[in-house]
Amino acid sequence: MTRTANMIALAVLAMTPVSAQEQGNPRNVLVVLAHPDDELVIAPALAAMRRDGAQVRIAFATSGDAGPGESGMAPGAELAQVREGEARCSAAALGLGEPEFWRLGDGTLGSSARGPDSPAAQVLARIGAAIAANRPGMVITWGPDGGYGHVDHRMVSALTVQAAQAMPEAERPIMLHPAIRTGTAPAIPQLESWATTAPELVQYGLAYTPADLAAAKTAAACHVTQFDEASRAGMMPLFDATIWQGKVHFRRAF
């Protein structure tokens, strides 16, 4: 096994009971996110896992159709189509396959969440089906803070955890949340509202190479509707120098 694949396997062995080790595939990773561009917070890790042989599947609950970001486009189907194209571009840059788009409506996941046909109910069903179909050893999704409190992010986090917590222990995948260690976020206005995690709660750091970081920079460049040119060019180097410092960090959900 390669270095990163070893790290994935060791992480699963360290975090999982023996029965779950036998059931899950540590090299099969499911990433569940709310919008195209959410993957950028862990982009070098995704590139590293895929480069070293892990199967990484990514699903977006919405297509970011509420926008508009930097695009100036009206919210709706046309913007969703463009943002899905950007997500495909980003996934290709990171070495991933075709993303899965659930198209459940940007900004709607918290609406009437108890309803049997609500977007939240549909997300929960999709997550359960994705876990059953892919049998991942690891699932990565937003933490309870939603990064910066975005309701769609928080709902995707809660619903993914809900799906996993109902599973038998022998079948339950490792679940990880991206973590910004307290004290590492750069002092810029764009990150003022982002939540941080106490370092003692951060159990896992996945190292990446310069090639993985370069792939992440290419992925960021895909999201033209969301970020201006300077932000697209500068965010990965900034995160590398401050938040990540050579490793993308995660905390366990359970």
Render each residue's pLDDT in the chain as its tens digit; 254 residues: 445 444 554 454 344 433 333 344 557 999 999 999 999 999 999 999 999 899 999 999 999 999 878 888 999 999 999 999 999 999 999 999 999 999 999 999 999 899 999 999 999 999 999 999 989 999 999 999 999 999 999 999 999 999 999 999 988 999 999 999 999 999 999 999 999 999 999 999 999 999 999 999 999 999 999 999 999 999 999 999 999 999 999 999 99
Q: How many CB atoms lie within 10 A of CB 166?
A: 10
**Which element (helix H / strand E) includes 248?**
strand 247-252
Percent pLDDT > 90 in the chain is 83
Q: Look at residue 24 in the predicted model and tell me its pLDDT.
A: 44
In eight-state DSSP terms, residue 140 is E
* End-to-end CA separation in angstroms for the chain: 27
Q: Look at residue 27 in the predicted model and tell me its pLDDT.
A: 79
Closest C-alpha to 86, from 141, 39, 48, 46: 39
Q: Could you give all domains of the chain from N- to C-terminal order, each with its CATH number?
A: 3-179+198-252 (3.40.50.10320)
Q: Look at residue 26 in the predicted model and tell me its pLDDT.
A: 58
C-alpha 47: how far from chain center = 12
Q: Look at residue 11 in the predicted model and tell me its pLDDT.
A: 52
Q: Look at residue 1 in the predicted model and tell me its pLDDT.
A: 43
Q: How many CB atoms lie within 10 A of CB 36?
A: 30
Q: Look at residue 22 in the predicted model and tell me its pLDDT.
A: 37
Q: Look at residue 17 in the predicted model and tell me its pLDDT.
A: 38
- Its pTM surpasses 0.85: yes
